[in-house]
Amino acid sequence: ASPSVRDVVTPEGNGMSSETILFRADWTVDGEPAGRDCVARIEPELDKIPVFPTYDLAMQFDVMSLVAEATDVPVPETLWYEQDRSVVGAPFFVMGRVEGEVPRDVLPYTFGDNWVDSAQGDQLRRLQDSAVAALAGIHQIGPDTHDLSSLQYDQPGATALERHLGEWEGYLEWVTADRRSPLLDECFAWLRANLPTESGPDRLSWGDARIGNMLFRDFEVVGVLDWEMAGIAPPEVDLGWMAYLHLFFHDLAVDLGLPGMAAFMRPVDLADTYAAASGLAPKDLRWHIAYA
């Protein structure tokens, strides 16, 4: 019998850049029933308030496949990529579904009344350490170990960090167009003027490196998701992003009179854990948090 699809749902979640569909696929093998819970990611329509100026779904599929092949970092199994728009109206890829809990973005987990906020100290530490260990695992991949030429930014610059910064300066130009923000212009000028002279080696950068893009079971990472911002950068870029996103959510909570989670995901703790996991001591994390 031909494969069939059922239990199709769109999840509540943290992603905004593409459409995600959960479904169950059933088929037969040698007359015996078989099936699998799957997830499809569908390329967004770029003429409808896009998050990115371009969207490379094939790149995400390839990067996830590479991470699964080259590391022990848990990523959903990539099953197939379909470029033919006639199937569902846009390119898409299918991956295996991973069961787990995601720290929420809306409302942020720092606002309380959720599984992260209610966790005990040792559980939070396990979550934090597992997240950082996943980063260290991703960063085992670099241009010196694998062909990452397709992830190189087409920007001027002597280093991967300088080219990465140039890519985001270009993104700012695209987002703001003729509505420039003096504050953001000042921020990028400061980043340029204070660009670190030392940083870690060039590595595969996850990009949107935050716990809200991870699935957890028993406070351990079981799935690393959302690879649309993947590129090449020193490890501190991902670590700074991870630290900043928690600081941002914590500050939002405190501004509203809530306790927040000041003892969780502290930059100094993330740096120490990363150094222990990777053998590489992060440099100038303050700059990278400001960059994030």
Of 62, 129, 208, 284, which is the active-site residue? 208
Choose among 259, 265, 266: nearest CA to 113. Answer: 259
pLDDT (0 to 100) of residue 16:
53
CATH number of 4-96: 3.30.200.20
* The architecture CATH gives domain 109-291: Alpha-Beta Complex (3.90)
Active site residue 26: no
> Are 239 and 284 within 8 A, CB to CB?
no
Q: Which helix (H) or strand (E) holds 216?
A: strand 214-217
pLDDT (0 to 100) of residue 224:
99
Q: Would you kindly state where each structural domain of the chain is located, as residue ranges?
A: 4-96, 109-291
Give the 3-state secondary structure of residue 214.
strand
pLDDT (0 to 100) of residue 58:
95
**Whole-structure pTM value:** 0.92
**SS3 string of 131-187?**
HHHHHHHHCCCCCCCCCCHHHCCCCCCCCHHHHHHHHHHHHHHHHHCCCCCHHHHHH
List the chain pLDDT tens, one digit each, 292 residues.
578 888 888 876 555 556 888 988 888 888 788 888 899 999 887 666 678 888 899 999 999 999 999 999 999 999 999 999 988 888 999 999 999 999 999 999 999 999 999 999 999 999 999 999 999 999 999 999 999 999 999 999 999 999 999 999 999 998 888 888 899 999 999 999 999 988 899 999 999 999 999 999 999 999 999 999 999 999 999 999 999 999 999 999 999 999 999 999 999 999 999 999 999 999 999 999 999 9
